[in-house]
Chain A
Amino acid sequence: LAKTTQPISMDSYEGQEVNITCSHNNIATNDYITWYQQFPSQGPRFIIQGYKTKVTNEVASLFIPADRKSSTLSLPRVSLSDTAVYYCLVGANQAGTALIFGKGTTLSVSS
């Protein structure tokens, strides 16, 4: 599984756009990039997944450049409730795959 590197923490204010970048230099051809969100005292929750270019859903956007060695999770107009830990994972897109969570990025949103 490709190793990922992401900032330990980020701070933001309500209403701002937040971009969290993840580096994965050794990503394999069949690897997908997946982001999970974890609130305190809760289990992780799937946010978004992509393979290349851009993916958008009701929660976030995921930007992946052509070389796929990095990716950026974009959260539009964050609110206090977006305060959480965000994990970037890289691996095969198949069931049964163990999810390798690093320490993630702790996002703190203030008013």
Chain B
Amino acid sequence: NAGVTQTPKFRILKIGQSMTLQCTQDMNHNYMYWYRQDPGMGLKLIYYSVGAGITDKGEVPNGYNVSRSTTEDFPLRLELAAPSQTSVYFCASSYGVGLKSYEQYFGPGTRLTVT
């Protein structure tokens, strides 16, 4: 299993540009999450999904959109990028039910700079 994969690894955007961060997991997990981590800080939840076709906002959803058309993929869309969105973005997934439903598996992250 590749686990959770994210592309791209790095990206520089100009203010006002848009982009999609890709996330794919091959563990057949129902739950998927997007977090952002600012320098020296903990992670903050942007959006999450409990299954295909179902998404919900997290703590910091403004400026982002998500979709979940398949179990495997959970792309994060940035519209009209702003310098405040400069951060490292992590995608994660977890089982929906069962003993290890609490354990989240993280991807390697996408480092985004908006200038």
Contact A98 B101 (CB under 8 A): no
Interface residue ranges of B37-55 to A (CB < 8 Å): 37, 40-45, 48, 50
Q: Which residue of B lies closest to A41 (CB)?
A: B109
Contact B42 A43 (CB under 8 A): no
Binary interface encoding of chain A residues 69-103 relative to chain B, with 1 for a CB under 8 A from any of its CBs, else 0: 00000000000000000010000011111111111
> Could you say which residues of chain A place their CB within 8 Å of the CB of B108?
41-43
Task: Out of A41, A87, A98, name the residue touching B45 (CB < 8 Å).
Answer: A98
Q: Which residue of A lies closest to B109 (CB)?
A: A43
Q: Which residue of B lies closest to A103 (CB)?
A: B42
Q: Which residue of B lies closest to A97 (CB)?
A: B102
Task: Out of B58, B102, B106, name the residue touching A43 (CB < 8 Å).
Answer: B106
> Could you say which residues of chain B place their CB within 8 Å of the CB of A45?
106
Total interface residues on B, using CB and 8 Å? 31
Q: Main secondary structure on chain A at its contact with chain B?
A: loop
- B94 within 8 Å of A (CB atoms): yes
> Could you say which residues of chain A place their CB within 8 Å of the CB of B105?
46
Contact B33 A32 (CB under 8 A): no
Give the top 7 A-B pairs by smallest Cβ distance, nearest first: A43-B106, A101-B42, A95-B101, A98-B45, A101-B43, A46-B103, A93-B102
17 additional contacts (CB under 8 A) given A96-B48, A101-B37, A101-B42? A32-B102, A41-B109, A42-B106, A43-B4, A43-B107, A45-B106, A46-B103, A49-B102, A94-B102, A95-B94, A95-B95, A95-B97, A95-B101, A95-B102, A96-B96, A97-B102, A99-B35
